[in-house]
Amino acid sequence: MKNRIALISILMVAIAIMSFVVVREHEHYKTIELGAEAPLSEKRLMDVSGEEFSLNDLKQENGLCVIFSCNTCPFVIGSEGSQGWEGRYNNVAKDCEQYKVGMVMVNSNEARRTAGDSMADMKKRAKEKAFLSKYVIDNNSELANAFGAKTTPHVFLFDSDMKLVYRGAIDDNHKDPDFVDEAFLFDAIDNLASGEDIDPADTKATGCSIKRVKN
């Protein structure tokens, strides 16, 4: 009985410590608010094509869609019983192109550069999936830190002035696009281009945590 009580106490302490660390990390990387200007919009990022682009380079007439993504998260690439959101990226790109909104996917998983998220891995993934948008590497997670991006994926949609008008999830079902009830990002892009209010403009980003290098 004493051993059991001791084990429960240790587990409770561990959970408390983990909760504190998570809270502190989220406080440190605060997600930018709606209406905020895109941070580091002039910072040049290497694309899988070998060219460098800034967010301002990629912005189009009606704005820019930024998706923090990766090659390794089951919410992105899918798993048994789940298709993942990655299969919808090209549909997002087509929607963006139709409505004159730029799009870029950003890989900020600095701690996984030797475990599936290197530039070589990104190039291979981009080729296999025939991505229609730019796919850039975010060295040292600098862009993710400035945005306060939390997950893969995590979506940020900016208007023509590079002000944030939507943040959160692509839709409400990462497992199967046929069972999506709320196509948050697609609706936001359509409404942005038509000058209509975006509602909801803030949804919960669900996915794997961005793998930052801990200092």
pLDDT digits 0-9 by tens, 138-186:
999 999 999 999 999 999 999 999 999 999 999 999 999 999 999 999 9
Give the CATH class of 33-209: alpha beta
Rg, C-alpha atoms of the chain = 18
194-203, pLDDT tens digit by residue? 999 999 999 9
Given this model, what pLDDT does residue 13 score?
Answer: 38
Q: Are strands 154-158 and 164-168 parallel, antiparallel or unpaired?
A: antiparallel
Which residues lie below 8 Å from residue 98, measured CB to CB, with a gap of 6+?
none
Given this model, what pLDDT does residue 210 score?
Answer: 97
- Measured in degrees and rounded to the nearest 5, phi and psi for residue 72 equal -125, -15
Domain range list for the chain: 1-30, 33-209
Question: Cα–Cα distance between 158 and 162 in angstroms, integer?
Answer: 5
Note the pTM of the prediction, 2 decimals. Answer: 0.87
Contact 68, 212 (CB under 8 A): no
Contact 184, 95 (CB under 8 A): no
Asked if the model's pLDDT at residue 24 lies above 90, the reply is: no
What number of CA atoms fall less than 13 Å from residue 98's CA on the CB side?
Answer: 12
Span 21-41, average pLDDT: 77
Band of pLDDT at residue 17, cut at 50, 70 and 90: very low
Which residues lie below 8 Å from residue 116, measured CB to CB, with a gap of 6+?
70, 71, 72
Band of pLDDT at residue 214, cut at 50, 70 and 90: confident
Question: Cα–Cα distance between 48 and 60 in angstroms, integer?
Answer: 20
Which residue type occupies 1?
Answer: M
pLDDT-above-90 percentage for the chain:
84
Which of these, 104, 110, 100, lies nearest to 55 by C-alpha position? 104
Span 62-66, average pLDDT: 98
Alpha-carbon separation of residue 146 from 12, 32, 40 (angstroms): 33, 8, 7
Alpha-carbon separation of residue 26 from 23, 150, 152, 168, 201 (angstroms): 5, 8, 15, 15, 20
